[in-house]
Amino acid sequence: MSYCLNPTCPNPENLAHSQKCQSCGSQLLLNDRYQVIKPLGQGGFGATFLACDQALPGEPSCVIKQLRPSTTAPQVLQMARELFEREAKTLGRIGNHPQIPRLLDYFEDGHHFYLIQEYISGATLQQEIKRNGNLSEAGVKQFLSEILPLLQYIHERKVIHRDIKPANLIRRTQDARMVLIDFGAVKNQVTQAITNQSEHTALTAYAIGTPGFAPPEQMAMRPVYASDIYALGVTCIYLLTGKSPKDLAYSPTTGEMMWEQLVQVSDHLKSVLRKMLEVSVRNRYQSADDVLRGLEMEPYLESLAQGLLIKSDLAVKEQAHYHRDDSGILCNNPSASFTSSGVAQVAAAIRARRAKAAEGAGLHTARMQPGSLTAKQATLGSSNSNGSQSQNSQVARKLDTQSLLTSYLKGRRDFALHNLSMLNLQGADLSETNFHSAQLRKTNFQGANLRNSDFGKANLAYANLRDANFSKAYLNNADLEGADLRGADFSYAYLSNANLRGANLCGANLTGAKISEEQLALAKTNWLTVRPNGKRGLL
């Protein structure tokens, strides 16, 4: 079906290959490339539609957001244009994060404004709760472990979302990751409100968010970063109770939501939610970083750690993940741009716990903060003639195929520095896993799912990667010499500085991949190879 975008069309449904609308005569192919299939939703300022992009191979699905000014009055058009340009610039700045839909195109056509975004297939949190029932405390904590690093990423780029709610959070079908949508209510280039009431953040005259989810200062047109924290807290109450804010009671004296008697959770989580939902912004958590610190809990550290394995965007991935200190020990790079210091603190706790467990088993791999020593090193270390302490050499830990797969199924996602050479992992699902600096020489990954995984500085020489899914994988400085990459999906993968000498890329998909012509000149390609620009042919 082709759907007409004319807001006044009496019968917008048309046959699939129609060129013009049978009812109003409007052109059906938007911008000579986008065929609209059906409407997805409608709001006060416009509507969204599911479409396909006929200009790209395979005609991939996309979402068209149409901004419809109510009149053509100059002041209304100017306001709409400012809203449109603001959202486009914001999405362009933050849209490379794997949990935010990418901006594909934007343009103005006949007093209507169009944003073209990546289509996210999946159910909203609102739909999940209605279908499956309320979440448990563990489920809410897991949800927060996914969303808080994303929220910190957004705030670090000086953006307030202002409309966080279950209907704007989609669990993506292909990887079950939570995706935040609808940045039409964003406020960008903001500064935190200060206590002097004569100075506030800049006001915005439209799109202030959803009543009940938005806190008082946002409804008063003075949103701050902590406004998103409040909305996230209200979302957690919805997940625990299935009740929207309009169905809950509020204190007539304080204006606070009365939710505590409706939930069965620990006192610890109650205290965290209570602070997220403070009506007074100065008493509320000020950042996602602060909430993460408040949520520090041993049973969920692994879940938080897994979220850390996938960096926020390609800009972050361009930085080295690790560096060697003066003694040659591999450590976290202090210059790397993590999403928040609070997340880094949680990661440090995880590393300390793992190091302690590994040391007890005699398998310590020396992954620690610069300058720190294990008890074993402190006992064995001695000063040399230069006065410096000797360090134990780093030894990569060897795992067999069954141990690796079992660990992954139990939730482990970190295999950095491990020796996994020559393992048979054909067809395995190992998506979103950290293989940084791992030894994977001649390993069989044929048909495996390695989407969003980190292979920075890994040795994949002569590995079998045929038909494997490396979409959005990070392979900076990886050694792929002589590897079989035929038919592999490297769409939007980061391959800068990877060694491709003698690698076989015949039929591989490199759409959107970060890779140079010099690298590709060293590899074997054919007419089935999809180039980074999406076109097929020899490179």
Question: What is the pLDDT at residue 192?
Answer: 36
Q: Which of 174, 229, 204, 212 is nearest to 79 (CA)?
A: 204
The catalytic position among 32, 53, 163, 175 is 163
- Rounded Cα distance between 30 and 35, Å, is 6
pLDDT of 343? 46
Check: CATH 3.30.200.20 for 2-118? Answer: yes
Q: What tokens does 330 get?
A: 């591999």
Per-residue pLDDT averaged across 280-302, rounded? 78
Q: Where are the domains of the chain?
A: 2-118, 122-193+206-309, 314-380, 396-539
> What is the pTM (predicted TM-score) of this model?
0.54
Q: Kindly report the number of other CB atoms within 10 A of residue 278's CB atom.
A: 18
The structure tokens 């076109």 sit at 535
Look at residue 43 in the predicted model and tell me its pLDDT. Answer: 65
Contacts of 389 (CB under 8 A, 6+ apart): 373, 377, 381, 382, 383
Q: What 3-state DSSP class applies to 419?
A: strand
More confident residue, 155 or 397: 155
Quote the CA–CA distance of 404 and 531 in Å, as a whole number. 33
Fold of 396-539: Pectate Lyase C-like (2.160.20)
Average pLDDT of the segment spanning 307-321:
40
Q: Report the phi/psi class of residue 345: left, alpha or beta, with left for phi > 0 and alpha for psi in -120 to 50.
A: alpha
Give the whole-angstrom CA distance, residue 104 versus residue 61. Answer: 11
pLDDT at residue number 256? 87
* Active site (annotated) includes residue 163: yes
Q: Which residues pair with residue 190 across a beta bridge?
A: none
Asked which of 28-42, 214-228, 282-296, 359-373 is least confident by mean pLDDT, the reply is: 359-373
Q: Among 241-250, 272-281, 390-399, 522-531, which stretch is predicted with the lowest mean pLDDT?
A: 390-399
List the one residue out of 123, 124, 119 whose CA is nearest residue 52: 119
Q: List the structure tokens of 152.
A: 């910190």
Retrieve residue 112's tokens. 């209507």
Torsion angles phi and psi, residue 499, rounded to 5:
-85, 110
- The per-residue pLDDT for range 326-359, each reduced to its tens digit, is 333 334 443 333 344 444 445 555 555 555 555 4
At the top level of CATH, the class of 122-193+206-309 is mainly alpha
Which pLDDT tens digit goes with each residue over 425-440? 999 999 999 999 999 9
Residue-wise pLDDT tens digits, 68-124: 776 677 777 787 788 778 778 888 888 788 899 988 988 888 778 898 999 999 999
Residue 485 — pLDDT band, cuts 50, 70, 90? Answer: very high
Taking only the tens place, the pLDDT of each residue in 155-188 is: 998 899 999 999 999 999 988 899 999 876 555 5
DSSP per residue, 17-81: T-SB-TTT--BSEETTTEEEEEEEEE-SSEEEEEEEETTSTT--EEEEEEE--SS--HHHHHHHH
- pLDDT for residue 185: 57
Mean pLDDT of 392-410: 78
C-alpha pair distances (Å), 232 with each of 9, 24, 91, 128, 256: 38, 43, 20, 17, 15
Lowest mean pLDDT: which of 163-177, 370-384, 493-507?
370-384
Residue 61 binned pLDDT confidence (cut-offs 50, 70, 90): very high
Q: Specify the range with the lowest mean pLDDT, choosing from 154-163, 173-182, 228-237, 297-306.
A: 297-306
| H or E, element range at 380 | helix 375-380
What is the rounded radius of gyration, in angstroms, for the C-alpha atoms of the chain?
A: 26
d(CA 461, CA 443): 9
pLDDT for position 388: 36
Residue pLDDT, tens place only, 413-429: 999 999 999 999 999 99
- Give me the pLDDT at residue 45, please: 62
Average pLDDT over residues 277-292: 92
Residue 398 dihedral angles phi and psi, to the nearest 5°: -95, 135
Reading the block at residue 504, the tokens are 């076989």
Q: In what order do the strands lie in the sheet with 112-118?
A: 29-30, 34-42, 46-53, 61-67, 112-118, 103-109
Phi and psi at 311, nearest 5°, equal -75, 165
57-71, 281-295, 453-467, 494-508: segment of lowest average pLDDT: 57-71
Name which residue leads in pLDDT, 375 or 439.
439
Q: How far is CA 121 from CA 60, 118, 224, in A?
A: 12, 10, 31
- For residue 260, what pLDDT band results from cuts at 50, 70 and 90? very high
In angstroms, rounded to a whole number, what is the distance separating the alpha carbons of residues 288 and 534?
37
Express as a percent the part of the chain with pLDDT over 90: 48
Lowest model confidence (mean pLDDT) among 85-99, 431-445, 486-500, 502-516: 85-99
Using alpha carbons, select from 483, 522, 513 the residue that is nearest to residue 495: 513
| Angle in degrees, CA 523, 527, 532, rounded to 5 | 65
Average pLDDT of 311-333? 38
- Whole-number pLDDT of residue 301: 44
Fold matches, 2-118 and 396-539: no
Stretch among 74-88, 226-240, 264-278 having the lowest mean pLDDT: 74-88
Round the average pLDDT of the chain to a whole number and report it: 79
Residue type present at position 267: D
Cβ-contact 191, 214 below 8 angstroms: no
CA distance 522 to 502: 6
235 neighbors 166 (Cβ within 8 angstroms): yes
Distance from C-alpha of 162 to C-alpha of 220, rounded to nearest angstrom: 13
Report the share of the chain in percent with pLDDT over 70: 75
**Most distant CA atoms of the chain, gap in Å:** 90
pLDDT at 312 over 80: no
Question: In this structure, are residues 257 and 277 in contact, taking their beta carbons and an 8 Å threshold?
Answer: yes
311 vs 319: CA distance, rounded Å = 10
Is residue 467 within 8 A of residue 444, CB to CB? The reply is no
